[in-house]
Structure 1
Amino acid sequence: MQNPMSWITNTVKHSTESSTQMYGGPQATPIKTDQMRGPPLQSPQPGLEPPIGSRMRDPGVAVEKDIGENMGTAPLTKQRPVSTVGNKTPVQQKAPSGEKSYASMTAAPVSKRRGEDSAGIPGETKNERTSFRRMVVGGVIHSDARPRGSAQGYSGGDRRPPRLNPTELVELRKKLASCVQEKDAMTKDKDSTQRKLADAERRNRDLEEQNKRQLEQLRTITSNLRQAEDLHRQTLDLLEMRTSELKGAQAFLSKEDSLSGADLIGMVDALNAEILQVAACIVDSLESLVKVPKSNADKGSATQPKSVVNLGEPIIQTLRSGSGRAYFDPLSVQVALQVCLVGASSWLIRSWIPGIWKYDSMFSAVHADIQTVEGQAISRRWRAITCGRLKQHWKRYENDMMAFVSNEIINVLVLAGQKQSLIKGEFLSKFHDRLGIIVQSALRINEATRVDITSRDLQVIVISPEAEFNIRDMDDAFSEGGSSRKKRAVDGQSRVRRVAGTTDLGILCRDGSSPVPEILKKPKVVLVSTLREGYQKV
């Protein structure tokens, strides 16, 4: 944007040069201010401008007054004539004493009255200020383009200075007013910007205070978070410890059985049937062997295992009585083999570690103590856990189990009059697989009664030899309909019926809700009277 003062200076300078050429050139005589036509214009009241018409009556005075007003100086009311000496630059005459020349009035910079810098109007150069003053001082207008030695000024005596075009003057006023408006607008913008800046600074201070408070809150929250994390970590540790304890406790709590009583009955029936078939097969195979006399028979009584001892005296006497005869008693031998295999299977089912009998008494005593102190629920779970772990060692003792069952059969056959050397070889090797089935069935029942079923205590029943026969707890394996009851009624007056041995396993259930045990399956027994009757028939 062009500086207003520079634009005014250039306009006046251009107008002056045009007038100089029009009215006589460079030798024109300067015109005194008091020679201008028309009365002098009165100074307008502060804040008011004279009408445009009154200004146009005396163009010279109007120009001077307008320039004075626009520049912030006093109007040109008085001016001394300027003399021209030779070709030198016109020199302004001194004003009389008591009067101030126009140069002295215009010498004071406008900025001092407006509070601006003494250098002049902002954006106006020093050359522009000097040129403008030289053009207006003393009412002399000359051109700076002429040489210094040439005379400048107006010639021709009383010729008037050129008038400014009213349109140009109006344009100057408009531009000046526009500049003032722009200045006011800029001032307002500055004030508004300052207010906004103050508001922004205030908001900035408020935000800084708020930021400080939030930082304090953040520190507090961070501290609380650390405490919460520590508490959470402690809670997790406690939870892990309690979970481990709960897992250990759950192992001793009651849980649903994986097998039912009916499943167990079916397993026992299958074992009894397998024992009967194996005994029958062995008896059928004995007919091809050569029977030795009793005096030459191997004596195995000194080394009889427990199962043979558990045969009972009636069966042992029956076997020994028939061993010295020329005939073979298959019924007594088959019954003896059944009783022998049932006894061996019961040992495998009841054992804590089948094949190693020496630890049974210790585990049984511990289980009884736990049941007395902790109760049946804890004792059953302890039994299930213990047997489940011991089951892993059963595989290594399978050969010992097979040897145990084979020795039981050999001892029975030796008692029946067979030679031990013949039985131990080829003869028993034919029944190795069948004996393995009996052993595996017994181990499966052991696992079912000790591990799979924990809601109650289940165990197999074997009736002791020479025990009194009771129809409520056992069945006669060789009874035919009601003949056993009639025989008991007839014999009951004279004697008590005794059990010779157990041929089929039974199942006994002990539940904590009832003190009286329940028989799920009755065992089958052979009576002493049955053995005697069979022996007499033979």
Structure 2
Amino acid sequence: IRTLQKSLSDVNAEVKNTKSLVSSLTRSSDVLKQRLTDAEHELQQARNQNQILDQQMKAQAAAAKLARDEAGRVSLAHEQTRALLKTRTEELRAAQVYLDRADQSSGADVISMIDALNSEIFQTAATVAEAFKFGEKKVEESSEAEVAYDHVIEILGPRMTELLKSTLHHDDQILIQTAFQAAMCAYVDWIVTSWYFEGREEEQMLSSLYAIIQESEEQAVAGRWRALTRRYALQAFREAPDSQRQLLSVVMETLVNILISAGLESATSEVSETMAAQFAEHASTVVEHAMRLNRVIGQGITSCEMMPLYLVPETPFDANVMEDAFGTASKDSTENILCTTDLGLMRMEKKGEQWEKRVLVKPKIILRSGMADTI
């Protein structure tokens, strides 16, 4: 019995221990379950937070993309604005240059240049005329004289050329000097008004086009077109770089032909050599001044038209626009002029649809009657 009681007591103790262990394990299990529940809750919160952060990141990425796109659009708009501003600035600058009314030279400057040019023509004509001595007239003309005569007629007209041919010049060279002046005035008028120093027929297209522009556009536009065309026409149409030398040769040839037509007893080649050796510098100065005047009134003045006044032979005398060099013509005279010895200057400006013309310098001319009293 004691053995059984002891065994029962041991069993009860073991049961008690087992119950205590089970109770402890139950409590541990409850703690673990609670921890697991808390962990699952925290995990869910972390998932939720991660989802929120992911959404925020996506929103920020979208916002960043929008910002980049907007920055790109702003940058493109900025570049387009800059390009447009540059274009408009260039257009404005071009328009300002094209429509600028400021002249580089004044009317007084041009008058001074015309006076200086006339003085140079007179001095050259007088110097050359005094250097050649004439003998008696030959009965028969040489072939060279006939060629020279035809050339001079084209420049001075038949009446002046016939006077040169028929007059004795061994006592007085006034007619020779006058012919030199008239010929140089004719060539200088052409040089000053030329577009690119070719013949008037070759330049007729530009002259006709400019006449249309003058009638259709404001003076500022027409004047600027003329200035730019004058500047670049030489580059486009004139192949020879030394225009002054070529123009000089034409002037010198005409002076030689005047001497031959007047009866100088020398071969054309000999006279040409003498002219080149002794008077090329004088004539070159005339050509140089004429080319400078071409640039001044052709490219440097756009607010109006400035042009030399040269009157062709046989123009009726008009005291309002010309002056008799000898002072013998009456104001009422209608006699045709023999030649022009000094260039004049005219100013023209378009006012609305009308042209305002003003003679700033009257050209000096010679009448046949005045020359008859002199020779």
TM-score class normalised by the smaller sequence: 0.7 to 0.9
Q: Tell me what 1:499 maps to.
A: 337
Seen in structure 2, the aligned counterparts of structure 1 residues 307 and 456 have a Cα distance that, compared at 3 Å, is: farther
Seen in structure 2, the aligned counterparts of structure 1 residues 356 and 462 have a Cα distance that, compared at 3 Å, is: closer
Q: Tell me what 1:407 maps to.
A: 253
Q: Tell me what 1:319 maps to.
A: 164
2:118 is the alignment partner of 1:272: yes
2:360 is the alignment partner of 1:523: no
For 2:361, the aligned partner's letter is K
Seen in structure 2, the aligned counterparts of structure 1 residues 104 and 438 have a Cα distance that, compared at 3 Å, is: same
Give runs of aligned pairs for residues 235-384 of structure 1, distance below 5 A.
253-287=99-133, 291-296=135-140, 298=142, 300=145, 304=149, 308-323=153-168, 327-374=170-217, 376-384=219-227
Q: Which runs of 5+ in 1 are unaligned?
A: 1-80, 84-91, 123-186
Give yes or no for contact 1:355–1:401 (8 Å, CA) kept in 2: no
2:229 is the alignment partner of 1:386: yes
The Cα offsets for residues 407-446 of structure 1, whole Å up to 9 and x where unpaired, read as: 2111221232213514222244211122122112212222
1:366 & 1:304 partners in 2: Cα distance?
35
Give runs of aligned pairs for residues 84-163 of structure 1, distance below 5 A.
93-95=6-8, 100-101=12-13, 104-110=15-21, 112-113=23-24, 115-116=26-27
Shift of 1:249: 6.5
- Bigger shift: residues 228-237 or 525-534: 228-237
2:299 is the alignment partner of 1:451: yes
2:321 is the alignment partner of 1:473: yes
For 2:302, the aligned partner's letter is T
Give yes or no for contact 2:105–2:300 (8 Å, CA) kept in 1: yes
User: TM-score scaled by structure 1?
Assistant: 0.56
The Cα offsets for residues 51-87 of structure 1, whole Å up to 9 and x where unpaired, read as: xxxxxxxxxxxxxxxxxxxxxxxxxxxxxx9x9xxxx
1:437 counterpart (285, 289, 305): 285
Seen in structure 2, the aligned counterparts of structure 1 residues 452 and 304 have a Cα distance that, compared at 3 Å, is: farther
2:320 & 2:83 partners in 1: Cα distance?
59
Structure with the greater relative contact order (CA < 8 A, sep ≥ 6): 1 or 2? Answer: 2
For 1:534, the aligned partner's letter is T
Shift of 1:343: 1.0
Shift of 1:272: 1.2
Give yes or no for contact 1:297–1:418 (8 Å, CA) kept in 2: no
Q: Which has the higher helix share?
A: 2
Shift of 1:342: 0.9
Q: Sequence identity of aligned pairs in percent?
A: 26
Seen in structure 2, the aligned counterparts of structure 1 residues 276 and 450 have a Cα distance that, compared at 3 Å, is: same
For 1:418, what is the secondary structure of its paired residue?
coil
Shift of 1:279: 0.9
Give yes or no for contact 2:214–2:222 (8 Å, CA) kept in 1: yes
Give yes or no for contact 2:350–2:356 (8 Å, CA) kept in 1: no
Shift of 1:247: 7.7
Task: Give the number of equivalent residue pairs.
Answer: 361
The Cα offsets for residues 198-257 of structure 1, whole Å up to 9 and x where unpaired, read as: 766544332222222333444555566667777778778878887887787777545532
For 1:488, what is the secondary structure of its paired residue?
coil
1:221 & 1:420 partners in 2: Cα distance?
95
Give yes or no for contact 1:367–1:379 (8 Å, CA) kept in 2: yes
- Bigger shift: residues 365-374 or 247-256: 247-256
For 2:261, the aligned partner's letter is L
User: TM-score scaled by structure 2?
Assistant: 0.78
Alignment root-mean-square deviation, CA: 4.1
Seen in structure 2, the aligned counterparts of structure 1 residues 200 and 285 have a Cα distance that, compared at 3 Å, is: same
For 1:353, the aligned partner's letter is Y
Shift of 1:341: 0.9
Give yes or no for contact 2:118–2:342 (8 Å, CA) kept in 1: yes
- Bigger shift: residues 107-116 or 242-251: 242-251
The Cα offsets for residues 250-277 of structure 1, whole Å up to 9 and x where unpaired, read as: 7754553222222222222221111111
1:378 & 1:502 partners in 2: Cα distance?
33
Seen in structure 2, the aligned counterparts of structure 1 residues 115 and 522 have a Cα distance that, compared at 3 Å, is: farther
